[in-house]
Structure 1
């Protein structure tokens, strides 16, 4: 089982002996690549599973795609036909399941998703579990595990865009956040996959000056460092999207995360990882995973040659001699 959190496999404890170089997959991708917003990925046996944002008007909630090789993708369908009632009661008017995240622990796949409405922090992060991703297995079936984190006008954060991490000591963590006061972090209960203490305030690990355009955290471990990837500026505007992706690193999951210039992500810092080019606009909301010794960054970008369609992109992630990720 390889998940996007098992970043280095057997190499996790090693230092940085030198820069790495690997080729991108993006120009080779084929099949059902769009619409893809906010992708997450996991490998189960010999199949890669990719989940992404979708709206009820698109036939269901949480697109589910599969691939045998990371290159050719097939739309398998949707995870949910409709929201559990508790979601629509909590967030009236919500129409899409946003920003899924997938993790495997305690013998189950844990699929996190967000529900909100644009411009509001009346939001929830929900959880589904299944013992298998093989839909032909009689044991398959997504179980609603209820709310994980929620927010409203009384909170200084927004409960969307979750990412689940198990650290080097075996502790479990949930990172999340979009705009407002930025990226937050809860320690999680490994039995439930939910915050250990919901009453305790989460820890703020990244923020920017108003309008606070930072979201979509993703944390990995490589060597002695934890790397926090985040998306800055504005998505969801097609070719006019200004999204880009940055990274900072820390010796501890709880931070402080700093960029290569020593600026804290709490102070708006961040080393550039993904930025727009002539064709591909607004690259962001990434997941990072390792497969066969190569790191990949999986994200969406808007195709300027196809009317700005949100499209799946997968780039090999290389590493500098001093341990910074590049594409």
Structure 2
């Protein structure tokens, strides 16, 4: 099944069609002696060096850049070519005093780094420099010495011949910069509005809660998990109840609203949430038991918010692990219940699940609005979901943001999406200091609540909204593909949709719904610790087909990445090439476990030449190609062999159709010495 020259696999109906690369006709190849090209500029001496050191160059000479330092460069004029998409190659020289090279056409990078070091002088055939769309006429090639390997004694560079191979027509590529603005919430100072320990012999806490206004009397009601300190989740058997004329108080303690009934499957009860519809108040809550994989969602109703009657239809449904923290809101013509769970009832990724209903009593099967990349059971990163709408945007508030639950206990992340049922891949717009946060609206006043173990009761803070820039990037399109290249606040391919027929009828193929489609680091442990920040500079070719994202800082590590994206109208299908280059300038904060480029598939399955649908797990090495596939569509990423400085591992996540190509993968971590490292070339088609 291996096909080293295969660039695309398109699944059409039931047939799997392999499309091999087509050799170019002789007239599609332009070859030039490098030393014969016109030198337009240089920062170091340039000469035509005659054969030496046991090496015979083509035509007996090479172009020799006698660079003295990193940053030295030479720019030459390429021979005129017809308009088209070109793969550019070269015959280069390696030697003990040669440096590491970067190539650019018309001022924008192409391809990968080339390490010019070798212990003896060598002539290196058929080095791929990269791809570029070229208009008819002459163009400029710049060779820059970026540094040198630890073994090299100099920065020289040598070019023997250049080859420009036309591989396709010059088609229209539209690249447009964009900026998106939207509202972002901010929390004001917290004020404790109610202490449930008043009148009790010891301190008490409120935890997950709901605050609702009586539509008839205007009286505000708070219902919450209530218990004596310290936190004892399996002994939380009643819902505290208090009332007040306004959300800020003064609050009056009332008898418990509901007490667990073991005969109804309620060993303990958690997280009440109340909504109003047509004169009836509906309280949804989690009924817990030692069967954590089958937590029951229960309903009680009331007409006055004081007396509650359990539904005879309980449980409304069961889910796990510890499915709980329901929140219900109206979306269009249906009700949506959000709640925290895991990707399967026995555990897995922490998720915000949802179900829909027309009558608040009968609920649909489960969907997933948001999945955390973190896995486990019980407490996690998707607790206490709360969803509100502002204009055309929906905001998901969810606790607890971080892998250390204790440190993350008061960290509520806020995600924003235009689709209330899909926060996968949405930007995290802020993190607010609050636990089990609810949004309370009283006329023009918005509040954020806070409660929890050891927090001393129920707190409120003003919640304000301000318009800010929330995303920047580039929209790139041809008839074959449409890509959203996000450059702020993190750099990634937010989405890639394709049409193999080239008619612009795009279908989603990649997104950033899990780890994100782009480079990442894992420092001190497995899983993502550092994502690519905004680039220091963006270079875009005149025709929009090349976008070079330069100097993306990787979190707080002394590491940057350059990410070159090259769009072609067609190699053998909708085509996007990715080249990543890493630069390490100091010692990382901990050993490095992963240096990786991740792809989140928007199609159901992910595989490679050995296994079409890979299960979740590690596969040593990096495959010739990986493929994400679904009904009538597949997207293949072909790997240019040995284009990364090493190729340790590939991680597949079947649940998210994700592949992480990991040039460096080390259980326990490894030192990553300073230097420049080619991270690999992948061509998507």
Instruction: Give TM-score, length-normalised by structure 1.
Output: 0.69
Closer, same or farther in 2 for the Cα pair 1:58/1:64, shift >3 Å? Answer: farther
Q: Distance in 2 between matches of 1:202 and 1:19?
A: 26
SS of residue matched to 2:324 = coil
**Aligned partners of 1:248 and 1:257 also within 8 Å:** no
**Residue from 367, 373, 377 that aligns with 1:202:** 367
Q: Distance in 1 between matches of 2:295 and 2:256?
A: 21
Q: Distance in 2 between matches of 1:255 and 1:48?
A: 32
**Aligned partners of 1:112 and 1:128 also within 8 Å:** yes
* 1:224-283 CA-partner distances (Å, limit 9, x unpaired): 111111002589x9x877341011111121123555xx3xxxxxxx333323xxxxxxx3
What residue is the counterpart of 1:54 in the other structure? 226
Q: Distance in 2 between matches of 1:219 and 1:57?
A: 27
**Aligned partners of 1:103 and 1:164 also within 8 Å:** yes
What residue is the counterpart of 1:5 in the other structure? none
Q: Which runs of 5+ in 1 are unaligned?
A: 1-15, 89-93, 263-269, 276-282, 303-307
Displacement of 1:162: 0.7
What residue is the counterpart of 1:296 in the other structure? 447
What residue is the counterpart of 1:185 in the other structure? 354
Q: Distance in 1 between matches of 2:286 and 2:356?
A: 18
SS of residue matched to 2:375 = coil
**Aligned partners of 1:231 and 1:244 also within 8 Å:** yes
**Aligned partners of 1:164 and 1:172 also within 8 Å:** yes
Displacement of 1:159: 2.1
Higher strand content, 1 or 2: 2
Q: Distance in 2 between matches of 1:248 and 1:111?
A: 26
* 1:289-313 CA-partner distances (Å, limit 9, x unpaired): 21121111112145xxxxx344211
* 1:170-195 CA-partner distances (Å, limit 9, x unpaired): 32111111454311111123x24341
What residue is the counterpart of 1:8 in the other structure? none
Closer, same or farther in 2 for the Cα pair 1:318/1:76, shift >3 Å? Answer: same
Q: Which runs of 5+ in 2 are unaligned?
A: 1-180, 198-203, 228-232, 471-685
Instruction: Say what the alpha-carbon RMSD is for the aligned residues.
Output: 3.4
Higher RCO (C-alpha 8 Å, min separation 6): 1
Q: Distance in 1 between matches of 2:246 and 2:260?
A: 30
What residue is the counterpart of 1:165 in the other structure? 329
Closer, same or farther in 2 for the Cα pair 1:119/1:86, shift >3 Å? Answer: closer
- Aligned pairs for 1:303-318 (under 5 A) are 308-318=454-464
Closer, same or farther in 2 for the Cα pair 1:274/1:109, shift >3 Å? Answer: same
What residue is the counterpart of 2:210 in the other structure? 40
* The structure with more radius of gyration: 2
Closer, same or farther in 2 for the Cα pair 1:124/1:38, shift >3 Å? Answer: same
* 1:69-120 CA-partner distances (Å, limit 9, x unpaired): 22222221212233262324xxxxx3x2111111001321000111225893
**Residue from 404, 428, 435 that aligns with 1:284:** 435
**Aligned partners of 1:128 and 1:143 also within 8 Å:** yes
SS of residue matched to 1:245 = strand
**Residue from 362, 374, 399 that aligns with 1:231:** 399
**Aligned partners of 1:158 and 1:178 also within 8 Å:** yes
Q: Distance in 1 between matches of 2:300 and 2:444?
A: 30
Question: In the alignment, is residue 244 of structure 1 matched against residue 376 of structure 2?
Answer: no
Question: In the alignment, is residue 319 of structure 1 matched against residue 465 of structure 2?
Answer: yes
SS of residue matched to 2:265 = helix
**Residue from 157, 163, 175 that aligns with 2:338:** 175
Closer, same or farther in 2 for the Cα pair 1:318/1:59, shift >3 Å? Answer: closer
SS of residue matched to 1:121 = helix
SS of residue matched to 1:286 = coil
Q: Distance in 2 between matches of 1:22 and 1:240?
A: 19
- How many residues are treated as equivalent by the alignment? 265
Question: In the alignment, is residue 86 of structure 1 matched against residue 264 of structure 2?
Answer: yes
**Aligned partners of 2:409 and 2:435 also within 8 Å:** no
Displacement of 1:60: 5.4
What residue is the counterpart of 2:47 in the other structure? none
**Aligned partners of 1:51 and 1:63 also within 8 Å:** yes
**Aligned partners of 1:39 and 1:299 also within 8 Å:** no
Question: In the alignment, is residue 74 of structure 1 matched against residue 239 of structure 2?
Answer: no
Closer, same or farther in 2 for the Cα pair 1:311/1:105, shift >3 Å? Answer: same
* 1:151-206 CA-partner distances (Å, limit 9, x unpaired): 25xxxx54211110102x232111111454311111123x24341x3xx3423423
SS of residue matched to 1:297 = strand
SS of residue matched to 1:69 = coil
What residue is the counterpart of 1:12 in the other structure? none
Q: Distance in 1 between matches of 2:463 and 2:193?
A: 16
SS of residue matched to 1:207 = strand
**Residue from 39, 63, 66 that aligns with 2:240:** 63
Question: In the alignment, is residue 29 of structure 1 matched against residue 193 of structure 2?
Answer: yes
Question: In the alignment, is residue 102 of structure 1 matched against residue 274 of structure 2?
Answer: yes
Q: Distance in 1 between matches of 2:398 and 2:184?
A: 23
Instruction: Give TM-score, length-normalised by structure 2.
Output: 0.35
Closer, same or farther in 2 for the Cα pair 1:52/1:18, shift >3 Å? Answer: closer
Closer, same or farther in 2 for the Cα pair 1:285/1:294, shift >3 Å? Answer: same
